[in-house]
Structure 1
Amino acid sequence: MITVIFYLFQDQGFFQQLLARIYEGGPFPMTLILLLFFLMIFFIIRSALKLRALPQSFRKSVSLVNQVALLAVIIGLFFQLIGLIQVFDAFESLGNIQPALLAGGLKVTLLPPIFGGLTFIIGRMATFILNWLRKEDPVTAA
């Protein structure tokens, strides 16, 4: 916990650090994953508002959260593979590779799946909590 607080209050702000990582991971895939994250948050809020709705309506909202979260992971993995191909093409043309250069290239290719995975974890935790909060169906309770 202290490490997180220390990290948030460093010279460079948390959001500046986040934007730097988004730019470093590739503006297109990272922006796409960020948009999916915001869409998932919208679907989570919509599902929370439908806790007392009909079961089909609630299940559809929760399913949308899961699908958007899964899409974020898949997009992250897809762009990681594209990044790995680009890194290996660049190293093939260089011939002699330095380990620091390889590590930097691999770090950049790992950023989209990490952000996609974080989006997925948040989405799955939200669906778990939403399903837990929905105690019983309103139709059977009457």
Structure 2
Amino acid sequence: MIDLLFEGGILFMSILTITLSVSLGLSIFHLIKKTQEESQLALIKSIGLFALVFGILGQFIGLYGALQHISQVESVSSAMLAGGIRVSSITSIYGMIIFVVSYLMWFILKLISSNN
């Protein structure tokens, strides 16, 4: 797992990890305090959406760099191309996972707060 953090690019993966920590921290804070604030719940969902968009941005920047190097080399094997696409997809997958976790936490907290 740590290898994927470094392989996906330390800048993007660390920012995504921070967004995951903030989303989980806000969720735990909301569970402990049992507040009824809709803005705090919306923030959890917004942080997840930010992680999704930021992960996709990381993939596009990675693909741009890979295509730039391919254009300079002029010939590349299909295995090298597939490896580059795989590496660039790591940030998108991580961003999607964070989005799903944040959205699930938002949904669960919304159900809990509506039952109270």
Same fold (TM over 0.5): yes
Matches within 5 A, 1:70-89: 70-89=49-68
Question: Take 2:114 and 2:48, find their aligned partners in 1: how far apart are those partners?
Answer: 24
CA distance in 1, matches of 2:115, 2:100: 25
- Give CA deviations for 1:55-111 in whole Å, capped at 9, x if unaligned: 4x2x11111111111111111111111111001011111111100000110011100
Out of 87, 100, 104, the residue aligned to residue 121 of structure 1 is: 100
The code of the aligned residue for 1:71 comes to F
Following TM superposition, the consecutive aligned residue runs of length 4 or more in structure 1 with deviations greater than 4 angstroms are: none
1:45 is aligned with what amino acid?
I
TM-score by length of 2: 0.93
Q: Which residue of 1 aligns with 2:24?
A: 41
Structure 1 vs Structure 2 CA RMSD: 1.3
Q: What pairs with 1:17-28 in structure 2 (closer than 5 Å)?
A: 18-28=1-11
Shift in Å, 1:41: 0.6
* Structure label with greater radius of gyration: 1
TM-score, normalised via structure 1 length? 0.77
For residue 6 of structure 1, what is the aligned residue in structure 2? Answer: none
Measure how far apart 1:19 and its partner are.
Answer: 0.6
Of structures 1 and 2, the one scoring higher in RCO (CA 8 A, sep 6+) is 2
How many angstroms apart in 2 are the aligned matches of 1:41 and 1:67?
A: 13
Q: How many residues align?
A: 116
Distance in 1 (alpha carbons) for counterparts of 2:89 and 2:5: 12
- Which of 1, 6, 13 is the matching residue for 1:30? 13
